[in-house]
Structure 1
Amino acid sequence: MSWYDMGPVSTCKLFGAVRAVTGIKNAVPLIHGPRGCAYHIGYLLTARGGRRIAVASTELSESDVVFGASEKLRDRIIEVDRTRKPDIIVIMSSCATSIIGEDIGRVADETSELVDAELITVSAGGFESSQGEGYEEVMMALIHKFCWRMEPSSKPSVNIIGEFRGGADLREVRESLSLMGVDVNCVLTSGCSIRDMTMIPAGHLNCSFCDVSGIAPCRFLEENFGTPFIHHPIPIGFSNSLRFYREVLGYLNLDYPINEEFSAFIEERDRIRAELEGLRVAVVSGPTRAVALTEFITELRMKPVLVSMDMIGDYTLENLRGVPGLRSEILVGVDVSDIEEAIIRTEPELILGGLAETRISEVSGAPLIDVMHGSSLTAGFRGAVNLGARMCGAVYGDHDCY
């Protein structure tokens, strides 16, 4: 018997659009749709991120859906601007308003002179595509709105494109780059302001942190502003982090003793490796993080027996094939029941996943480490030590692996 009925492992375009907007400083996502769309997406993002996510809504009634509600949208834009005083309001259609053809762009144009906030519109009917396209469309709308040609900054600088969660990992990457003499102009969209976004064209290099939604914006910026980009997996793990920093330093022609910094962590890596070598691990994650986690597992001489991703991007499989010695079952976009059956079949001793894998972990007996939504550090050399220690703790309890 299955622990779960069949169900999707990815969500809709509207969810992705809202998530991208909630990372922007003083921005409000406004859904032109029934109240449930805003409530459930806000509730889920709050549960996953540990902070309250407020999503505005026009709260359409049945008659609104039948006869249209442009006036209600106009009034709600003005109310949000007056009460919340945001810098940006991103107005999104929902399934209902996309189906009836509500012209949110026209309403925004007619209302723009009545509010202080910048207005951006995104067609985000859930049926239109997946969350990846929602992330991408919001980023492209922001780039079109706030970016124009300018001279590169005088100090070496980069932009991080397609990063939607902040916390310890983003702080680690920013602080590490700063020590190397590299400024981060903008993280699109985690923690960015309008000013940050206007500085994107001044960057010397763009770094895509999302293989699904980050590539198209990076290509657009390269074609229109001449900024090169890299599509390196998220810097998780010792060797992967080393390659990421080397690549950034190489593009910017900077001399920094990154090899010496890496060498200082080799002893700790080897101690963790001695404890975890041979352990069977399943990875259930988004594509860019899955590639980095899988490489880290092999670096510690553990055995990745299953890699399950909700979707893949332009370079995902290429990067995954580059993981040395990978011998793993790979699933892409399968039902929850398929993931469950694969967990049973491959018998991992540890699962690296998210909140959705909690029940599978309980029933299978394999401990779970949430690497998708937690605030614990996983990026960079220090993140590799921390994640390695968490894996030891999950498998061996209070045993100190180093």
Structure 2
Amino acid sequence: MPDAAIRIPRSTCRLFGAIKALSTLKNTCILVHGPKGCVYHINYILGMRGDRPREIFSTCLNEHDVIFGAEDRLTRAICELDQEIHPDLLVVLSCCASGIIGEDVHAAVRAASVSAPVLAIDSGGFEGDHAEGYRDTLTRIAASLAGSTGHRDPHAVNLLGVLRAGPDLGEIRRILTSAGIRVAAVLTAGTGMADLGRMGDAALNIVLCETSGLGAAEVLLSRFGTPYIVTDLPIGIPATDTFLDTIRSALSLPCPEKSMNPHEPIPPLDPSHRIAIFSGPTRAIALSRFLSGLSNPPRLIVLDFLPPSLEKVAAAAGPGCVILVEPDSGEIRKALAAEEITLVLGGMLERPVAGMLGIRLIDVMHGSQRTVGYEGARILAALIDGEKI
């Protein structure tokens, strides 16, 4: 196996992470100071996944700019977008090219005379991977844009580390509302400047992805004194009960008696499934516990990046599971064959290899079906067993 040539890396660059984290903020304009290819390819990929940003622009650096610099053009671009788009927020991102030649995006932002708030973030691809892009972007937003009215809401929470607005986020909001808990803001899916301005009013911050959300939680604790908890995604009926009970306890709200829980348990899965999980650590842990609870633990887990605690992933997966961190596609094919995998829980990136090997794929990353909460557990179990939804 060559160690200098990696076949189809699992992770991508810091710029991708920053753009993904910003892509669903309301009325936000993203400006990348770099060559046109950076924006084109990331926008194309996010569009395929259903996450295309509404407003994303590039300064389209050329060879002359790379040699002589283009900070003046960046400042002009910031002013043009402010005047023509009228965003609630304008975010300026560096990339590999502008970072290498030493372009100062922060100075360009300071030189621009604009009405909208402008946030500059160093996001050169060589400076880290997409997970670091997620983390640093959420941390900067919490540090620079979060505010408070000064009135604490004892039943309000913020959700941190949720980057995709879709059915799962809607279900999390629904089950929290049914428990008398209000979601004040989400970092970052579907959130606007008004929501960010009230983040400090929440009584609790809930970190749903430790990798992307923990830094923001620490900042909000420091700025507003808001405590936080790190929870697993509520995938499965027991996990959803634990999720709600943990939040109620942190908010000093009463927990219902277990006998009052109306949710019938889900039967064990078909034992013939040999399942692989392809995801980040947060979803891998939640899916592993869900599968183990239905008597069919995962045989293989492929992680996009190194988790904060590999031991936690291994404990959730069980002793018989093979765990690979950022393997290349050759290693993945060998592991799928060696573990005799018949079903992949993953996303779009797994479609080619699953199709090539004749393995059924369920998209749990970008699908239109719920996977969290009580109803999501039944939907996911039915999909795994091949039932029509």
- Once the two structures are TM-superposed, the CA of residue 248 in structure 1 deviates from its matched residue by 0.5
1:155-166 to structure 2, matched below 5 A, reads 155-166=154-165
Conserved? CA contact 1:276–1:300, under 8 Å: no
Aligned residue for 1:289? 283
Conserved? CA contact 1:93–1:104, under 8 Å: yes
Aligned to 2:111, the other structure's residue is in SS state: helix
The answer to whether 1:359 aligns with 2:352 is yes
Q: Aligned in 2, Cα 1:26/1:190: closer, same or farther, shift over 3 Å?
A: same
Aligned to 1:90, the other structure's residue is in SS state: strand
- Once the two structures are TM-superposed, the CA of residue 50 in structure 1 deviates from its matched residue by 5.9
Aligned to 2:187, the other structure's residue is in SS state: strand
Q: Aligned in 2, Cα 1:137/1:303: closer, same or farther, shift over 3 Å?
A: closer
Question: CA separation in 2, counterparts of 1:11 and 1:194?
Answer: 28
The answer to whether 1:331 aligns with 2:324 is yes
Aligned to 2:283, the other structure's residue is in SS state: helix
Aligned residue for 1:190? 189
Aligned to 1:337, the other structure's residue is in SS state: helix
The answer to whether 1:17 aligns with 2:18 is yes
Aligned residue for 1:222? 221
Conserved? CA contact 2:298–2:317, under 8 Å: no
Q: Aligned in 2, Cα 1:69/1:243: closer, same or farther, shift over 3 Å?
A: same
Structure 1 alignment gaps of length 5 or more: none
Cα RMSD (Å): 2.1
Question: CA separation in 2, counterparts of 1:256 and 1:241?
Answer: 13
1:121-132 to structure 2, matched below 5 A, reads 121-132=120-131
- Once the two structures are TM-superposed, the CA of residue 364 in structure 1 deviates from its matched residue by 2.1
TM-score using structure 2 length: 0.93
Give the letter aligned to residue 102 of structure 1: E
Question: CA separation in 1, counterparts of 2:126 and 2:310?
Answer: 26
Conserved? CA contact 2:235–2:373, under 8 Å: yes
- Once the two structures are TM-superposed, the CA of residue 155 in structure 1 deviates from its matched residue by 3.8
Question: CA separation in 2, counterparts of 1:103 and 1:50?
Answer: 29
1:2-401 to structure 2, matched below 5 A, reads 6-49=7-50, 53-111=54-112, 114-148=113-147, 151=150, 153-257=152-256, 259=258, 262-266=261-265, 269-270=266-267, 273=268, 275-277=269-271, 279-314=273-308, 316-323=309-316, 325-393=318-386
Aligned to 1:31, the other structure's residue is in SS state: strand
Conserved? CA contact 1:262–1:381, under 8 Å: no
Q: Aligned in 2, Cα 1:138/1:51: closer, same or farther, shift over 3 Å?
A: closer
TM-score using structure 1 length: 0.90
Question: CA separation in 2, counterparts of 1:135 and 1:258?
Answer: 38
List per-residue Cα deviations over 1:16-42 (Å, max 9, x = no partner): 001111121000110000001011111
Question: CA separation in 2, counterparts of 1:327 and 1:75?
Answer: 58
- Once the two structures are TM-superposed, the CA of residue 143 in structure 1 deviates from its matched residue by 1.5
Question: CA separation in 2, counterparts of 1:215 and 1:339?
Answer: 30
Question: CA separation in 2, counterparts of 1:352 and 1:318?
Answer: 21
- Once the two structures are TM-superposed, the CA of residue 64 in structure 1 deviates from its matched residue by 0.8
Conserved? CA contact 2:234–2:286, under 8 Å: yes
Q: Aligned in 2, Cα 1:93/1:143: closer, same or farther, shift over 3 Å?
A: same
Q: Higher helix share goes to which structure? A: 1
Q: Give the number of aligned pairs.
A: 386
Aligned to 1:157, the other structure's residue is in SS state: strand
Structure 2 alignment gaps of length 5 or more: none
List per-residue Cα deviations over 1:330-381 (Å, max 9, x = no partner): 1112212212211111111211011111122112222000111122111111
